Amino acid sequence: MEHIISGVAKFQKDVFPAKKEAFQKLANGQNPEVLFITCADSRIDPNLVTQTEPGELFICRNAGNIVPPHSNQTGGMTASIEFAVAALGVTHIIICGHSDCGAMKGAINTEGLASLPHVKEWLGHSRVATEVVKEKCGCSSLTHEEHLGLVTEENVIQQLQHIKTHPAVAAKIATDQIKLHGWVYDFESAEIKTYDEATREFKPVKDTYEETIAKEEQ
């Protein structure tokens, strides 16, 4: 905990003064372009990975980067998505999974979650992903790493389907006011793979956003 407190002191002394004007603007409101939905895993930092500043991302985090399908039962994710889309007017939604995901390990082996009943119930929203991989690949032919990787990717695909059921999102998609993006981030290599809906495949971010990256490198 000491390094956390030291970090606060360093932020107030060294970081905040240099960005005081930006923080003063943020004190009066926010206008993020992107709703970034990712896992609660401590190893992933959306602002660090995307090199964005405070106010640029509206971030929602939970175990497994899950988006429950829309229902009449209000939950934190449902309310946050509605607020980001209908009130803040984000124009992009990123759902980002990651390598070595503990939630996806739990989704694969639900028997190991007997002492975590709420986690087990929550990961029911990822069951489609595990069943799709089982049907397509046959888990016995896969290594543990291959199985986990495929479930992680399929989970992102299924959560993209879930978010389309939310009325605010569906309305914006129908009028081309919002775009959805599926990402998987690898801790060890820093590679980000993005989902191509046309081919139902994940490919390196540099291939998907080639023109944008080329402009940045000039």
Which residues participate in the annotated binding site for Zn(2+)?
39, 41, 98, 101
Feature table: binding site: 39, 41, 98, 101
The per-residue b/e assignment along 66-78, b for 16 or more CB within 10 angstroms, e otherwise, is bbbebeeeeeebb
Computed from CA positions of residues 140, 146, 148, 151, in that sequence, does the dihedral angle turn out positive or negative?
Answer: negative
Q: What value does the CA radius of gyration of the chain take, rounded to a whole number of Å?
A: 19
**Angstrom distance (rounded) from CA 101 to CA 152:** 7
Q: Is 20 left (phi over 0), alpha (psi -120 to 50) or beta?
A: alpha
> Token digits for 79?
């309310």
In this structure, how many other beta carbons lie within 10 angstroms of the beta carbon of residue 171?
A: 13
